[in-house]
Amino acid sequence: MSKDGKYIYLVKFAALGIPLYLGWNGNKLLGGEPTKNDTDFYPSLNAAYANKGELYRTMTARFSAGIQAL
């Protein structure tokens, strides 16, 4: 509970050791372009982009479910 009596909620997600996108090394993209169902946190270029990373999709689904549960 916060100082002013309001509740604080946390929705956590962890995938230890997994980078945002496996092809990045510093500021250089060394791997190929992201593909559908890559196991990473690649968020995509826009909402309609099909090549979102699997971990990113899982994380956003769990976050949305946590918000709905509140």
* Of the candidates 14, 15, 6, the residue with the CA atom closest to the CA atom of residue 70: 6
pLDDT at 15: 76
pTM: 0.61
pLDDT one-digit tens code per residue, 9-66: 888 777 777 666 666 666 676 767 777 767 777 777 777 877 788 888 888 898 899 8
Token pair 């009596």: residue:
5
